[in-house]
Structure formats: C-alpha cells, structure tokens
Amino acid sequence: MEWIERMTATIDYIEDHLDEDIMYDEVAKIACCSMHQFGRVFSYIIGISLSEYIRRRRLTLSALDLQKSSMKVIDVALKYGYNSPDAFTRAFYEMHGVTPKMARNLGVKLKAYPRITFHISIKGDVEMEYRIEEKQEIKLTGMVRKIQRQSANIVANDWREVAGEVWNIWDEFLNHGMNEKIRDQYKLYRAPMWQMGFTKTLENGETLLAIGAEADDNILTDLDVYTIPANKWAVFTARGNLSGKEHPIDEMWTRITTEWFTTCGYKRAADYEIEVYPPGDTSCDDYVCEIWIPVTI
C-alpha cells in the first residue's frame, strides 16, 4: 500500500508540473528511490519510459488547450517545453494525426493519453532469492564520474536511452580500454565483487557513477578510486541477456521495490547501490548478475 501511495504522489507531482522541466531526481525523491532505480522501475511497470509518459500527457493537454482556449500555437508549444512551433507540430502530428491548427476544428478526432493510476495487485506466486552480506568498506578502483541532473523530458526507447549518461559512461569504460586494463593488465576482477557499477544520488541531484573492480594492495595512480562505506547489503540475482531492449536488472529492481521492500522489514540504508557483473556471456539468456542494496532493519 505504501508503494502505491508513493507512486500516486509521484504522478501527482508530474501532473502539477507538466508545463515545467521535470527533473529525474525530484520525482525519484518522492518515490523514495534512487534516480537510477526509479527510471528503470517506472519503465518496467508502466511499459514506457518516464519521458515518454510526460510527452504523451503534454500532447494530450496541449490538444485540450488548443480546443478550449484562444492560445496561439507557439504559446501552447512553449508552455509544454517545445522550443519551436515546428518541433511541436511534428510531435503533435505524430500522436494525433492532425496539425495543431487542425485540432481547433470541431469534429476532428484527437487522442487522449490519461494519467496513470495504481491499484493493488495480489502477487507472491514467484519466489525471490536473496542473501544478506556484511562487508567492510570497499575501495572501488577504475573510473569515477559525476553526472549532472537529468531532465525527464528526453524521450527514451530502450534501457540504454533510459540510463542516459550513465550508459554513455559505461560504454566509455567497456569499449575504450579501461575494462581491458583492469581485467588483463592489473587482473583485479575477482569474486565476490567482480566488475562493479556503483551509483549514488548526490544531495544536489547529480549522480556519482564509479565503475571498476575492488582494489588490491597495490597503488595504481592511473585509476580513480572511490571508497564505498561499510554496510549490510541485501543481494539479489538477476538473470538474462544484457543485449536486449530491456535489462534483466530492471525486472528485479521492480520486484525488489514493489514486493520485497514492502514486506521484508528491511529499509534502504543509503541512496546508492552496486551492480555486480561476473564473467560470462552477457548475450546469453542465462547470464547472471547481481544487485547489492545497503539495508537496515
């Protein structure tokens, strides 16, 4: 019930700010999720990204404004975040099949995308495996980056686009030499942390992303270092192909957020998480990765 109330409050906030630039960290805060987690959970539950939901709602309301008021097309476009009448007209036509000017005419068919509502769904038929680990501080060595606050206005079509700059940094890490340096030159990948992606939402709404491996006793001056505090961790396994349109961790994040946290008695201890990627064929449907979440009773 608490999850439904949080998501309803999130949608209320979005609806009240459709004529403003909605930031991911603001809506994630209302949902009591990290920004990275919220984008994935929303997309999985709703079936479209947050940015696409906002786009459809804005185009729905813009049609009502055109029919019920004497606002100029350019004013409606600017109200809902379009920088030019041409961009607005293209988006409007794509959804409604008519131009904004034609939408003023009586008898014209328009499409309406209603606001989302949430209802209780009885589940529990699929078991969830988890374990609790206690670890002292983890020194992650590799690549550390900060990402500016992310607008929810950018339309995304798959998990890479939903991840936005987070995925761009992962792509830089995996495909521009850093992964090979850690794996082949320094041989740092080892159990239980293997290849790690640490994501933390900062107080100013920015995101800190650290990717790499657990450091050993050697001092490596050509790699960044970030220290993750000692914690008790709830560890979940996700299974699936990382090359598809949806990331297997998205489904597990959704179940953790909507099922496990609502019944287990644990609470998140901090606004960050670790994704762990062991060696293996990431394009295989049986590939296994993990989510580590700091928890407290």
pLDDT of residue 126: 64
Split at pLDDT 50, 70, 90, the class of 262 is confident
Nearest by Cα to 50 from 13, 78, 99: 13
Residue 94 · residue 57 · CB < 8 Å: no
pLDDT of residue 2: 75
- Pick the more confident residue, 25 or 224: 224
Q: Compute the residue count for the chain.
A: 297
Question: Where are the domains positioned within the chain?
Answer: 52-104, 130-296
> Mean pLDDT of all residues in the chain?
87
pLDDT of residue 92: 94
CATH class of domain segment(s) 130-296 = alpha beta
Q: Is the dihedral of CA 250, 281, 188, 245 positive or negative?
A: negative
Nearest by Cα to 277 from 182, 204, 151: 182
3-state secondary structure of 50: helix
Q: How far apart, in whole angstroms, are the C-alpha atoms of residue 126 and residue 236?
A: 14
The strand pairing partners of 133, in sequence order, are 233
Residue 87 neighbours by CB distance under 10 Å? 12
pLDDT of residue 163: 58
Query: How much is the average pLDDT of 177-187?
Result: 95
Q: Is 209 left (phi over 0), alpha (psi -120 to 50) or beta?
A: beta
Same fold, 52-104 and 130-296: no
- What residues contact 68, with CB distance under 8 A and at least 6 apart? none
Strand 195-201 to 231-239 pairing: unpaired
Query: Taking the model in full, what pTM does it have?
Result: 0.72
Task: Give the alpha-carbon dihedral of 53, 55, 56, 60, to 10 degrees.
Answer: 140
Helix or strand run (H / E) with residue 254? helix 248-255
The strand pairing partners of 135, in sequence order, are 231
Nearest by Cα to 201 from 24, 2, 21, 70: 24
- Residue 153 predicted with pLDDT over 70: no
Tens of pLDDT, residue by residue over 71-128, are: 899 999 999 989 888 999 999 999 999 999 999 988 889 999 999 887 655 555 567 7
pLDDT of residue 100: 94
Identify the weakest region by mean pLDDT among 24-38, 174-188, 192-206, 211-225. 24-38
pLDDT of residue 96: 95
Tens of pLDDT, residue by residue over 264-275, are: 888 889 889 999
Tens of pLDDT, residue by residue over 71-84, are: 899 999 999 989 88
Residue 61 · residue 80 · CB < 8 Å: yes
Tens of pLDDT, residue by residue over 45-74, are: 788 888 889 999 999 999 999 988 888 999
- Residue 174 predicted with pLDDT over 80: yes
**According to CATH, what is the number of the domain 52-104?**
1.10.10.60
